Structure 1
């Protein structure tokens, strides 16, 4: 009986193999073809009735039964969908549709292919889910769906396919958690779920995959501690969990548990702790990526024992201790003769850059040590690393010059040394780096001329040389680098003209040559830079008219301010739809300002400091244009000539009598009249009139219950103006105090025409007589509900009901410092006339609801262009104090002239106080021991000892980024407090450095998941 059944089954199988070929496989393939798009080509032209099925291209049949066992259509640029008929190819062993453009879903009928062993569907546009019917494919050995658009959970049925050895499901949109059933795939050698949206932890059952060699779980949303099950995978050669949310630390014996690892990528997680000292015991280790975590401690010098090491990525951690010895590992790595990539940027590595790095493997292509605290100079023999393509040393403390041997690095594409303390001339040999793409030399002290040899770098895209001490002219050769998209040379001492060849830079998006000594006419060819988005030419001596640049329709920022340009304003600016900032201030432009298009928006257009401009929108506050009235008067001039002569003579006599009488009064009441005239001219800019009675009622008779604070020249009250239903701050001047009127006028004069988001807005003023017949002067400001920075820094000195409910965080203090620096930069450089505040201190920095800082109290301010002998003899208040003790610049104490450098000093003290919590007048300071010397002696190793304890207690862990950010911020403060005025930072530099520090902080916070 059994023999009969066996023979019957064999006969049935033979019958199926030979009798139903055309009815099954041929029909299935033709149905499959009908759903396929061949893109106008005849890829499947042989699939027809003229040829035998097994003669069709891309089709493989079995030798005995002539049934289809293989279908290889990979890489044929096919489209369409996968027909469900594919499930009828019941003898199919291998199906390859990868690297095509198939869309739609994977048909559930694929589960009918019970003989299938190789299912390759990668690099298509398949959607939906992985078919649960695959559990029928018990012989499946290789399953690849890489780079599709699958969106559902990973089915638990996948865990039933116990013969699976290769699973590639990376680069989809799979979600949910990994099924525990994956632990059943004990034959797996390759498993990848990279670049999906999978969440949760790694199942402990992963420890059962003891045969796995390759495990890639990168770029998902996994969380939890580092998966302990991985430590059981002793055969593992490649392990990648980059870009997830794993936390915890690596076991110290990691290297002993996974001795076969060749590639280990655990970057962009939340790992903490030390680098396991056993890692260098893995003798075959080739690739090690631990970047973007929160690792601490030192970098083991024993990495130098890894003779096969090719990549070491440790950037974006907290490795190092700001001190000597942190870079010892660099000398050891010279033994790694196959090293290709070394990145340790954005750590806290200190010490001197060792000359031994020039002895590293000649195969090193990337060397990244930026954003640390490394000092010393670049070794002269750095050119020995002849394969170097990336050299990143930016944001360190490096000194010295650029070695001439850099010219030997012909493959170098990125050279970045910005924000160091380097000096000397830029070597001519840098032009030998003909493949250079990005050159960043900004924020150093490089001097001398720009080498024309840079014109040989014909692949250059970005060239940054701003904020140095460069002199000479801009070489024409640079204008011949046609690929350039970014060129900045601002804040140097470059002279001569802007080369006419600038028009050859047709791809240039940013051009900044601001704050140099350039002169001459702007070249007409500027209009050919059609890709321009930022054009910054301010702070030079350019003259003549603006050339025709109406073709720059994509430009976002145009700044021609602080030059000697003349002529009328081009009307085409009105039609620049992308324009966000147009600054034409402080020039010699004349004529009518347009009112259409972009000129309607006074917030993006600035034209002050051009005496001969008129018209424009009201917000620009320009004089009206009278050209039509003048023309009309000219037509009637001939008719009324005699009348005019008679009237003129009579008018002249009357004018002489009037002047004589006024002169007598002026000599008697000079001071009073002078004050009133100035006051009236100032009040002309205000929109509201307010009386003494209004202010008295609004403050309940200047009641102490509404008292906010008091100063040298007056008292500040909180007031509610009923007519406007608005809460304001009223500063009432003490007119009995000598110098009060001068303070009142200084504040009005300083603030009447300035506009900045970080200035306390002066709403109006009151010049009146009180009910007792005394002079009354008051200034009305917008109310700042969160008080002054001083009360936030020193709450113990404030009455209980005024104390802040919490403390300022490190980031909030940094925001405030940037706000204050920004407004000082505006006052010093970007105003129509440079203004010095002269009394910057925490009590004069006020905070609004969003803790945005607003600088106030301009009672001692001075407009520098109006200085004359009288100003120098009587510069400030009658007390002769130039600011406040502790915050005033030291040169003021010995009779030095007022300058913007004095404000910079005060700002530096403000920064040091904000982040140390100590006033400069603290009783611990005296004689040569000052707040500056106290901070300077602690940096960088003991920065946390001098930091305000409130910052460290406010949820930030001690370490990176707190220590690093504090060090960098306090260094900015110290550089602003230099004894010599000329050695202090410019406020523009301070703003830029503080913003850079904030970016470091944000990157670190994002990395830490805070």
Structure 2
């Protein structure tokens, strides 16, 4: 009887005490004398109570209707009915983890991977002494990793990756001696990698990737003899790779990508790491040759050396039968010799190869015919930005699974093989910036999956094949800067999939097909600089997504159709150098996104509007339309008062008659006198000729004299080292030019003229100023005359945008601030030009005088490098230097030039680094605040990384405050949005590029092909394309 009464009593007391525990100030402390089963049940219910969202109903069974051991995701041992496992992976649960989780004292495995759990990881987890598996990855946990997790001494697997954990990695984790898997990657952890990790002797897999961890890689990691997977990429690690790492013979996966590691890979790597399958060291500062033994690591399926400084020849890789991806882009591999690509023959046995990327290196020679014997599984082949010559092997059509082929920016000189039409799975084909000639193969019409076709900047002739109309998935078509003739095929204009079309700078004739109205998705259409004629079809108004429309430099006529009022998304519209007539349409005032409008050199008439974009004189160009009047005052157009104009016209006519009658005979006498003087000098006519070749236009001294209004001071737009630059107009007022007149009294001016002619004659790039002709003649006084004629850049020089002229009248000074994106685009433009000069010309060219005044901006704010008066060709066998001494401009010239050292491409790199820093800080290198000890380079270097934004050009922040350009950064409150943080990181990265380029020692500077790639990564990050810089 007594025993029967005592059991309910004690059970009742257990419940009372448990409730008292819950109500006390220590809710996380288990009441040890409570029944174990009930403890587990209540802990599970407490876990459920904290869950704020359960969209899949995973916890619906967690109720009193069944025993908790039957609840979904709960596993108990059979003997004690205690919870040993919770498995709730991939159930989209939200909310924090209850601290009562620590009461599940028999728990061995906790699987909560891939949910939306948040808040801190409760430290009570450290009380789970039997815990062996803890999977909390892919959630939203914040705070630090609880150090008392180290008390879970039986842990075998600890996975906390892809959360928002912060702070340093706890040294105490080094005491988990049974740990085999430690994944803490993709968080926001800082500090260094603890040397105590060397105690984790059972560790097989270590993931610390994508954090903010700095310092060196601990040498002690070389003691982890069981380690198979080591991923340290995406951090801020510095120093070299400890040699002991390469003795971990069990290592199969090794990644240190996206750090700041220097040094080299040991030549014996393939022998000491025989089990290596995955090698990824991209985006570091590694140098030296590829390990000659790498082929001995026969299990390798991935080699990633992207974006380093590896050099020399690629060793044979014939033993790597399992190789799938070989990524060697953005290095200095190859030595420009004929057999540089011979290693490709050794890859013909790698039947699983899918990716081969050799872009942006120094590979020379021809493509071996054996490339057609590569794996038929190959999907991506990229050989862009090298020095490959010759032709494309016709057997390339054997690579039937190829999806992307990139051969742009090389020195191919051949026709394009029709065999490419056999690559039916091809989605992207890029052959631009070579010397391909002949016609575009008709077989391209067989590439029905093609989305990108870029064969621009070659010497292709013939017509655009109508068979391209079969490429129904084509999104990007670029055929510009060739010698194409004929009409634009209506079949191409019917491709509704097209987003970008650029067929400019050819010799296309006919009209713009009415089928252009089918391009309902097109965002950019460029048909400029052709010989197209006729009216602009009203169907163009159906292209409602159009942002950029360029039709300049053609023979279009008539009035603009009213249907163009539908182009509400238009941002840039260039109709210049045509024969358009009638009044400027009022609807142009209503285009809210329009930022650039060029109507120059047409036959428009009437009143220029004042609303919308017409209220900004720096964004609208109407030069060369003699019948226009009115507009805002800044446009400085004539008044539209008709009576006043008529009176003035009559007065002018009368004056002309008086002058012609009164001075006619005098004029004839002057002409006769002039002819006599010319005869007496034995120069019966002015000698005028071009020295650039027959392909350039011919302009005489008389033509240039007339074009510049007798070299009027009103047309003077700049003064350089060896002469003056004038603005002029030719072709009956339809074409604006810039005329650089050499002052031959200056020492070196004649040599500068020859040097510039020689350089400009052999180069062609979208970011180099376009030379139209050169004139070497005699002026009207019998003196030598030398001039260079360039395409006129309407937006002047970069210097004018970075530094306002102090002599301008304040009342008429125009705001010319560059946005962050504009500055970055200009920086990329200049870098691309230098990359072309240094790495992609037949002989490398050193500019020797790079500075803001020599960077000109066209109407689209595209940067063009100009002034090649100091340029030097380098010998092919010594492409990096020349013994000719050059000074350059103070503040921009490389320091080694001041000591009489050799000219080199890295001298241009130094000037570019200074230019970058000037663009983004707004400070000249010759600023009064700088001296011998504090230079612009040091000024920026000392500010990084903590004070990076404090040295940025203040006008960027003014734009943000005025609402002119979103920067996302509030400089005064230091509050950053997500966008602002991204922008700040981009600014820091840009300044780092400038600092690296302007290092004092040549060997510490980057090459321009590396810089171009870095800036594109930064731009992608700025635009939100990626998050890792």
Same topology, TM > 0.5:
yes
Per the alignment, residue 8 of structure 1 pairs with none
Aligned to 1:598: 613
Does the residue aligned with 2:381 lie in a helix, a strand or coil? strand
- C-alpha contact 2:845 2:874 (8 A) present in aligned 1: no
5 Å-filtered alignment, 1:915-930, equals: 915=848
3-state secondary structure, aligned to 1:460: coil
Separation in structure 2 between the aligned mates of residue 150 and residue 65 of structure 1, nearest angstrom: 36
Q: Among residues 860, 869, 878, which one is paired with 2:781 in the alignment?
A: 878
Partner residue, 1:969: none
How many angstroms does 1:206 deviate by?
A: 0.4
1:750 Cα shift? 5.5
> Is 2:217 the counterpart of 1:202?
yes
Aligned-pair CA distance for 1:377: 0.5
**Contact 1:563-1:587 within 8 A present in 2 as well:** yes
Q: Equivalent residue of 2:545, what SS? A: coil
1:334 corresponds in structure 2 to 348
Q: Report deviation, 1:505.
A: 2.1
1:313 aligns with 2:327: yes
CA–CA distance in 2 between the matches of 1:261 and 1:958? 44
- In the alignment, what sits opposite 2:988? none
Structure 1, unmatched stretches of 5+, are: 1-11, 634-643, 645-650, 675-738, 761-783, 792-819, 847-853, 856-871, 890-907, 918-930, 967-996
Q: SS state of the match for residue 60, structure 1?
A: strand
2:794 maps to none
Structure 2 residue 881 is matched with structure 1 residue 944 = yes
Alpha-carbon contact 2:711-2:726 (below 8 Å) kept: no
Give 1:292 deviation, angstroms: 0.9
2:501 maps to 1:487: yes
Matches within 5 A, 1:883-962: 883=786, 914-915=847-848, 938-939=875-876, 942=879, 944-945=881-882, 954=895, 962=906
On the 8 A contact 1:460/1:484 being kept in 2, the answer is yes
In the alignment, does 2:346 pair up with 1:409?
no
Once the two structures are TM-superposed, the CA of residue 337 in structure 1 deviates from its matched residue by 2.3
* Cα offset, 1:484, TM superposition: 1.7
**Aligned partners of 1:164, 1:874: CA distance in 2, in Å?**
84
Asked if structure 1 preserves the Cα contact closer than 8 Å seen for 2:448 and 2:471, the reply is yes
Kept in 1, the 8 Å contact 2:400–2:422? The answer is yes
| 2:626 match | 611
How far apart in 2 are the matches of 1:509 and 1:369? 29
2:252 corresponding residue in structure 1: 237
**Structure 1 pair 42–18 and aligned structure 2 pair: CA distance change class (3 A):** farther
CA distance in 1, matches of 2:425, 2:35: 64
Q: Is the 8 A contact 2:882 2:903 kept in 1?
A: no
Change (3 A) 1:659 1:149: closer
For the 8 Å contact 1:246–1:270, the answer to whether it is kept is: yes
CA offset at residue 513 of structure 1? 0.7
Change (3 A) 1:600 1:655: closer
The answer as to 2:77 corresponding to 1:62 is yes
Distance 2:492 2:619 in 1: 32
Q: Which of the numbers 515, 535, 542 marks the counterpart of 1:501?
A: 515
Q: Distance in 2 between matches of 1:54 and 1:289?
A: 48
> Using the alignment, how far apart are the partners of 1:873 and 1:1004 within structure 2?
40
Alpha-carbon deviation of 1:824?
A: 9.9
| 1:155 paired to 2:58 | no
Whether the 8 Å CA contact 1:742–1:877 is kept in 2: the answer is: no
- Specify the SS of the correspondent of 1:95: strand
1:31 and 2:40 aligned: no
Within 5 Å, which residues of 2 pair with 1:267-666?
267-300=282-315, 302-547=316-561, 548-626=563-641, 665-666=662-663
Cα 1:582/1:151, change in 2 over 3 Å = same
User: Deviation digits for residues 119-149 of structure 1, max 9, x if unmatched?
Assistant: 1111111111111120111111111122111
1:261 paired residue number: 276
Of 746-755 and 447-456, deviating more is 746-755
Q: In structure 2, what is the Cα distance between the partners aligned to 1:365 and 1:660?
A: 77
Partners of 1:89 and 1:507 in 2: how far apart? Answer: 59
User: Does the C-alpha gap of structure 1 residues 124 and 440 become closer, same or farther in structure 2, counting only changes over 3 Å?
Assistant: same
2:137 alignment partner in structure 1:
122
Q: Deviations over 1:793-834 (max 9, x none)?
A: xxxxxxxxxxxxxxxxxxxxxxxxxxx9xx999978998544
Cα distance in 2, alignment partners of residues 176 and 834 from structure 1:
59
TM-aligned CA distance change 1:663 to 1:965, over 3 Å:
closer
- CA displacement at 1:835 relative to structure 2: 3.4
Tell me what 2:989 maps to.
none
Could you tell me whether the CA contact under 8 Å between 1:915 and 1:948 is conserved in 2?
Answer: no
Q: Normalized against structure 2, the TM-score is what? A: 0.68
The CA distance in 2 between the partners of 1:422 and 1:841, in whole Å, is: 40
> How far did 1:208 drift?
1.3
Distance 1:947 1:437 in 2: 48
In structure 2, relative to structure 1, the CA distance for the partners of 1:528 and 1:153 (3 Å cut) is farther
Instruction: Give, in whole Å, the separation in 2 of the partners of 1:626 and 1:358.
Output: 73
Contact in 1 for aligned 2:310/2:331 (Cα 8 Å):
yes
What residue is the counterpart of 2:100 in the other structure? 85
TM-aligned CA deviation for residue 340 of structure 1: 1.9
361 and 842 in structure 1: CA distance in 2 versus 1, 3 angstrom threshold:
farther
1:604 is displaced (CA, Å) by 0.7
Cα deviation, residue 577, structure 1: 3.0
Q: Equivalent residue for 1:839? A: 741
SS of equivalent to 2:140: coil
Distance 1:332 1:219, change over 3 A: same
* Structure 1 residue 667: Cα displacement: 4.7
SS at 2:604's partner residue? Answer: strand
- 1:623 and 1:309 map into 2 onto residues whose CA distance is 72
Q: Secondary structure at the match of 1:303?
A: coil
1:733 is aligned to: none
Aligned partner of 2:919 in structure 1 is none
Distance 1:665 1:828, change over 3 A: closer
In structure 2, distance between residues paired with 1:409 and 1:29:
59
The match for 2:181 among 163, 166, 169 is 166
Q: How many residues align?
A: 768
SS in 2 for 1:163: coil
Q: Is the 8 A contact 1:264 1:289 kept in 2?
A: yes
Distance 1:789 1:913 in 2: 18
- Measure, in 2, the Cα distance between the counterparts of 1:71 and 1:450: 65
Secondary structure at the aligned position of 1:449 is classed as coil
Shift of 1:361: 1.4
Deviation at 1:172, TM superposition (A): 1.3
Aligned-pair distance for 1:560?
0.7
**Relative to structure 1, is the Cα distance of residues 466 and 254 closer, same or farther in structure 2, using a 3 angstrom cutoff?**
same
Q: TM-score, normalised by structure 1?
A: 0.69
Structure 2 residue runs without a partner (length 5+): 1-13, 15-29, 672-699, 749-755, 758-774, 791-840, 851-867, 911-1005, 1019-1028
Partners of 1:912 and 1:671 lie apart in 2 by 51
Cα distance between partner residues in 2 of 1:159 and 1:37: 35
- Structure of larger gyration radius: 1
Kindly indicate whether the alpha-carbon contact (under 8 Å) linking 1:348 and 1:964 is maintained by their aligned counterparts in 2: no
When residues 538 and 39 of structure 1 are mapped into structure 2, their CA distance, relative to the original with a 3 A threshold, is farther
- CA drift at 1:564: 1.3
SS at match of 2:565: coil
CA contact (8 A) 1:200 1:221 kept: yes
| Partner of residue 125 from structure 2, selected from 110, 130, 145 | 110
Separation in structure 2 between the aligned mates of residue 428 and residue 655 of structure 1, nearest angstrom? 61
Secondary structure of 1:23 counterpart: helix
Instruction: Find the aligned partners of 2:545 and 2:440 in 1 and give their Cα distance.
Output: 29
The answer for the alignment partner of 1:228 in structure 2 is 243
> What do you get for the CA RMSD once the two structures are aligned?
4.4
Task: Describe the shift of the 1:565–1:881 C-alpha distance in structure 2 as closer, same or farther (beyond 3 A).
Answer: same
Distance 2:141 2:436 in 1: 55
Q: 273-282 or 944-953: which moved more? A: 944-953
Are residue 215 (structure 1) and residue 230 (structure 2) matched?
A: yes
2:1009 aligned to 997, 1000, 1007, which one?
1000
